[in-house]
Amino acid sequence: MEKDIRILAIESSCDETAAAVVRNGRDVLSNVISSQIELHKLYGGVVPEIASRKHIEKINQVIEEALTTAGVGLDDLDAVAVTYGPGLVGALLVGVAEAKAISYAKRLPLVGVHHIEGHISANYIENRDLEPPFICLVVSGGHTHLVKVQDYGVYEILGRTRDDAAGEAFDKVARAIGLGYPGGPKIDRLSREGNPQAIPFPRAKVEGAPYDFSFSGLKSAVLNYLNGCRMKGEPVVEADVAASFQQAVVSVLVEHAMLAVEESGIGKLAIAGGVASNQTLRSAMEEACRSRGVRFYRPSPLLCTDNAAMIGAAGYYEFCKGVRHGLDLNAVPNLKLGER
């Protein structure tokens, strides 16, 4: 039997300080997440400078807890993996500097990981049978990508958003309704009490690019609807607005994902990223896949939003391919998927 590979993974690209120990890319020995949401809530969104400072305060504690929970010491590790982009530069730098320090002190190989590759790889953790090729819809606060995963670490981007990311649209609409930050989970919850057919919000298509997304028109339609109600003195049924908006986003996401599955002939679809924890999206996608005989994969909600276990999963496959970064590894805020 081959030797086990234990990777310490670090994630600090936005507002979660996270560390995990992952064995052989799929066994999560620990997954510690320190969320800053309560802090950023006060400002209605993530404040980059505050995020960086908080990461510095928390990172050692989070790593120690990850090692203790996993029952391993730094000497038991085979590599350190860290998110080096995309994300907030100051936030990323905290994780990258920490990973480099551990790598240098313990002579451990250093593996830089793309944040989106992490989100996609979250699917490997609870689905031992999942192997490329498969189609993955990545929907987070910063990204909306429809990706063909050709092999571990080999991606073809079929479509992307032309403006807002899906999560960003959720957050902006939630703010307009007065739900506060972060909006996704709040819209998800409120929608359960609303009628998704109450208001016919637009489902935007991008001319000549069937896999691309556009959510800014939908966001404006919601804002116009809310203003219209206020001007006419009509009451706003917030749950109906939330449910109708969510339905518009979900139907476009499902339609594009199914088109990619059908045209590629790949009978496997995975979803990833914070918005993938949305209940309506999960059930709609599951149903669409079931009726077409397509296998459907989705991570548990905790592995959809930012975490370090997913970085450990992605880092393992990069490590196995021989990817090593030097101590000159830097944070790359606009890192493209598939770039090194």
Residues that bind ligand KG4 (CB under 6 A): 14, 140-142, 167, 170-171, 182-185, 188, 273-275, 277-278, 305-306
What is the closest distance, in whole angstroms, from the C-beta atom of residue 200 to ligand KG4 in the complex? Answer: 21
Neighbours of 228 (CB within 10 A): 11
Binding to Zn ion in span 246-305, by CB under 5 A = none
Nearer to ligand KG4, 199 or 276 (CB): 276
Number of residues that bind Zn ion (CB under 5 A): 2
Q: What's the rounded Cα separation, in Å, for the pair 136 and 261?
A: 9
Backbone φ/ψ region at 25: left (φ over 0), alpha (ψ -120 to 50), beta:
left
Give which of ligand KG4, Zn ion, none residue 171 binds (C-beta under 5 to 8 Å, depending on kind).
ligand KG4
As given in the structure block, the two tokens for residue 255 are 């339609």
C-alpha triplet 324, 86, 39: angle, nearest 5°: 120
What is the closest distance, in whole angstroms, from the C-beta atom of residue 327 to ligand KG4 in the complex? Answer: 26
Q: What's the rounded Cα separation, in Å, for the pair 340 and 337?
A: 9
What is the closest distance, in whole angstroms, from the C-beta atom of residue 167 to ligand KG4 in the complex? Answer: 3
Give which of ligand KG4, Zn ion, none residue 194 binds (C-beta under 5 to 8 Å, depending on kind).
none
What is the closest distance, in whole angstroms, from the C-beta atom of residue 109 to Zn ion in the complex? Answer: 24
334 CB-near residues (< 8 Å, 6+ apart): 85, 86
Nearer to ligand KG4, 8 or 275 (CB): 275
Nearer to ligand KG4, 185 or 194 (CB): 185
Give which of ligand KG4, Zn ion, none residue 185 binds (C-beta under 5 to 8 Å, depending on kind).
ligand KG4
Binding to Zn ion in span 136-175, by CB under 5 A = 140
What is the closest distance, in whole angstroms, from the C-beta atom of residue 234 to Zn ion in the complex? Answer: 38
What is the closest distance, in whole angstroms, from the C-beta atom of residue 217 to ligand KG4 in the complex? Answer: 18
Nearer to ligand KG4, 132 or 273 (CB): 273
What is the closest distance, in whole angstroms, from the C-beta atom of residue 183 to ligand KG4 in the complex? Answer: 5
Nearer to Zn ion, 140 or 161 (CB): 140
Q: What's the rounded Cα separation, in Å, for the pair 51 and 55?
A: 6
Nearer to ligand KG4, 80 or 311 (CB): 311
Nearer to Zn ion, 112 or 194 (CB): 112
83 touches Zn ion (CB under 5 A): no
CA distances from 23 to 15, 77, 148, 310, 338 (A): 25, 10, 26, 12, 24
306 touches Zn ion (CB under 5 A): yes
Question: Which residues bind to Zn ion, rule: CB under 5 A?
Answer: 140, 306
